[in-house]
Amino acid sequence: MAVVAAPGLDQLRVGFVGAGRMAEALAQGFIRAGKVEAQHVLASAPSDRNLCRFRALGCQTTHSNQEVVQNCWLVFFATKPHVLPAVLAEVAPVVTTEHILVSVAAGISLSTLEELLPPATRVLRISPNLPCVVQEGAMVMARGRHTGNSDAELLQTLLEACGQCEEVPEAHVDIHTGLSGSGVAFVCAFSEALAEGAIKMGMPSGLAHRIAAQTLLGTGKLLLQKGQHPAQLRTDVCTPGGTTIYGLHALERGGLRAATMSAVEAATCRARELSGK
Ligand SMILES: NC(=O)c1ccc[n+]([C@@H]2O[C@H](COP(=O)([O-])OP(=O)(O)OC[C@H]3O[C@@H](n4cnc5c(N)ncnc54)[C@H](OP(=O)(O)O)[C@@H]3O)[C@@H](O)[C@H]2O)c1
């Protein structure tokens, strides 16, 4: 079958097979950024549990996964990983070489996706994280053997509506899961501990948690906008004999850096284990 050139973003119909938290986060980002019109989004799931939120956004919904693939040439597969092989077997008869199929499922490799779909299907994997919900996701994507530059560029342009997205070799996807997918929980643990230090010193809880979260947000923005190494910014904040160096010494005694590196290592190893590598 001939490969047809992809239409522009204005004519884009985007499908979601699986309509849970991650699918909704991506759809919301595309619609809010004006990249896709809500009525051009079609989502499927077995129940109405999550589909009702898509309808509230103005999207079309169905219980038929095949209907999504028949009506959209760009389709995101956002079911839990263990469900995905059966879902791909179900839609495979209606997949053509015109489709661009994007898997969000953690731990399912590009070669597995290609094996489960017809020959020469254009597939990509993306690894998102939960801040996609507020358009501040840190995502990576990797492309399959039959996916061209224009397919990858189109997906990247679309995903920018949900945060930052960089194309990487597939080997980096599991590391991204350890750094950024699970990293959201590590950062939450740090934010909680930061706030609890202030609560211990007498600050009201709500205020301490708001200030801790804003401190993380502001520091992240500063690092990205200045493009500096974190060590540089840390040094800038550190007055000799001042408060920060006393605090940093306490963090070093507690082994914060070694514990954080071990956390990313452990989460990456677990992602690799779950991928069956
Ligand atoms: N959440 C994260 O932070 C995160 C980060 C990175 C990657 N991911 C990946 O994103 C994927 C989705 O995660 P999630 O948190 O969004 O899951 P979720 O909220 O549980 O959503 C799963 C969706 O799949 C639907 N589904 C179940 N069986 C189906 C079938 N046979 N055909 C079509 N749809 C079916 C569910 O239907 P119902 O609505 O009827 O229940 C639900 O809408 C996972 O593969 C995960 O690895 C998630």
Greater confidence, 2 or 62?
Answer: 62
Q: Which atom of ligand 1 is nearest to the CA of 19?
A: 43
CA of 247 to the centre of ligand 1 (A): 41
pLDDT at 200: 98
Over residues 166-194, mean pLDDT:
96
Which residue do the tokens 């590391």 mark? 175
Check the annotation: does 79 bind a ligand.
yes
- How confident is the model over 195-224, as pLDDT tens digits? 999 999 999 999 999 999 999 999 999 999
Q: Which of 104, 139, 173 gets mutated to test ligand 1 (max ligand atoms within 8 A of its CB)?
A: 104
Distance CA 244, CA 250 (A): 10
Q: Residue 107 — pLDDT band, cuts 50, 70, 90?
A: confident
pTM of the shown model: 0.89
CA of 83 to the centre of ligand 1 (A): 9
Residues composing the chain: 277
- How confident is the model over 250-269, as pLDDT tens digits? 999 999 999 999 999 999 99
Distance CA 252, CA 187 (A): 17
What mean pLDDT value characterizes the chain?
93
Over residues 42-46, mean pLDDT:
98
Greater confidence, 187 or 277?
Answer: 187
pLDDT at 4: 38
What's the chain's Rg over C-alpha atoms?
21
pLDDT at 3: 37
Is the distance from CB of 105 to CB of 274 less than 8 angstroms?
Answer: no
CA of 51 to the centre of ligand 1 (A): 12
Mutual angle of helices 205-226 and 230-237, in 10-degree steps: 120
Residues above pLDDT 90, as percent of the chain? 90
Check the annotation: does 81 bind a ligand.
yes
Check the annotation: does 65 bind a ligand.
yes
Q: Whose CA is nearest to atom 9 of ligand 1?
A: 105
Over residues 175-197, mean pLDDT:
97
CA of 206 to the centre of ligand 1 (A): 32
Q: Which atom of ligand 1 is nearest to the CA of 47?
A: 40
Distance CA 247, CA 103 (A): 43
Q: Which atom of ligand 1 is nearest to the CA of 51?
A: 39
Quick one: three-class SS letters along the chain? CCCCCCCCHHHCCEEEECCCHHHHHHHHHHHHCCCCCHHHEEEECCCCCCHHHHHHHCCEEECCHHHHHHHCCEEEECCCHHHHHHHHHHHHHHCCCCCEEEECCCCCCHHHHHHHCCCCCEEEEEECCHHHHHCCEEEEEEECCCCCHHHHHHHHHHHHHHEEEEECCHHHHHHHHHHHHCHHHHHHHHHHHHHHHHHHCCCCHHHHHHHHHHHHHHHHHHHHHHCCCHHHHHHHHCCCCCHHHHHHHHHHHCCHHHHHHHHHHHHHHHHHHHCCC
pLDDT at 120: 95
Q: Which atom of ligand 1 is nearest to the CA of 21?
A: 16
Over residues 25-43, mean pLDDT:
94
pLDDT at 54: 97
Distance CA 248, CA 254 (A): 10
